[in-house]
Amino acid sequence: MKHQEFNWKGTDDLNIFARHWTPDTPAKAVICVVHGMGEHSGRYHHVAEYFTKKGYALMAFDHRGHGKSEGPLGHVDGYDTLLNEVDQLIEQAEKAYPNLPKFVYGHSMGGNVVINHALRRKPLINGVIATGPWLRLGFDPPKVQTMVGKLINKVYSKFTQDSNLDANLLSHDKKVVKDYIDDPLVHGKISTAFYFGVSEAGEWAIQHGHRLGMPMLLMHGGKDEVTSPEGSKEFAKQSEHKITLKIWEDLYHEIHNEPEQEKVFAEMLKWMEILI
């Protein structure tokens, strides 16, 4: 496997950092990776190691305000900007691998984005994989906090606070938890514009799943307390003929970082192999 780093300019001229993993043999398909809130593309290196051995190339980027990309931490001016960046990722993949099958894979907040991207932008790809998507949170934020947040968002949408994510809810693997806590590129910041943009898009997706026009593999940890497995189930009911839903009953939020991760990857691989 070879690993390269590169950059592109966002629609507002921000510098977006990206990664490209290539197999040692000619690629038979490309996976475009969209990471979750507060993390970065480097946390998917082990995912790339698995799939490049199977003949897949992977491309990923750091969302603005994340990882090595520019922009205020945890902030985006509008939700469409997140969709635009997925457009740019697919464009980069097409440029590097013209005419090869392409899949978009998003986790957590990234899962929300790739689901909405599929519903709203209808990209010319072979399918979408979403794991632990933030369609709904796995808990109910205090109503007073939500009301105050909406008021602040109208006045100053860049207002940022800590997400207070408990890293122990990510994985049963204590090393994964420790590495997440110690990772200097991980942050817990989220602006009101980012929070409400993603939350509202998640609810919209649940109500509009019937618009899905391509195959989707939707997987969620059954013991996920960060994002809601029930939200994924509700979304899947809207388009059962297009969506393959799998709930990993005993897994936490980051199913790709659990001790059972190779079983998760094998499920993804089996699903993609049918479509290429």
Query: What is the DSSP code string of 98-112?
Result: TTS-EEEEEETHHHH
Q: What domains can be seen in the chain, in order of their start residue?
A: 2-275 (3.40.50.1820)
Question: 44 falls in which pLDDT band (50, 70, 90)?
Answer: very high
- For the beta carbon of residue 31, count every other beta carbon within 10 angstroms: 25
Q: What is the pLDDT of residue 160?
A: 86
Candidates 84, 87, 82, 89; CA nearest to 113 is: 82
The reported pTM is 0.95
Task: Give the three-state DSSP class for 7.
Answer: strand
Q: Residue 116 above 80 pLDDT?
A: yes
Q: What is the pLDDT of residue 152?
A: 64
Q: What is the pLDDT of residue 157?
A: 65
- The mean pLDDT of 258-273, rounded to a whole number, is 98
Of 28-32, 76-80, 139-143, the one with minimum mean pLDDT is 139-143
| CA dist., res. 238 & res. 207, Å (int) | 8
pLDDT digits (tens, 9 = 90+) for 47-64: 999 999 999 999 999 999
- The mean pLDDT of 21-29, rounded to a whole number, is 97
Mean pLDDT for the chain overall? 94
Q: What is the C-alpha R_g of the chain?
A: 17
pLDDT digits (tens, 9 = 90+) for 181-200: 999 999 999 999 999 999 99
pLDDT digits (tens, 9 = 90+) for 127-172: 999 999 999 998 676 554 565 456 565 555 677 888 889 999 999 9
Q: What is the pLDDT of residue 199?
A: 96
Q: What is the pLDDT of residue 158?
A: 74
pLDDT digits (tens, 9 = 90+) for 210-251: 999 999 999 999 999 999 999 999 999 998 889 999 999 999
Residue 70's φ and ψ, nearest 5 degrees, are: -80, 170
The helices-and-strands tally (H runs, E runs) of the chain is 8, 10
For CA atoms 263, 175, 49, 186, the dihedral sign is: positive
Question: 73 falls in which pLDDT band (50, 70, 90)?
Answer: very high
| CA dist., res. 241 & res. 236, Å (int) | 9
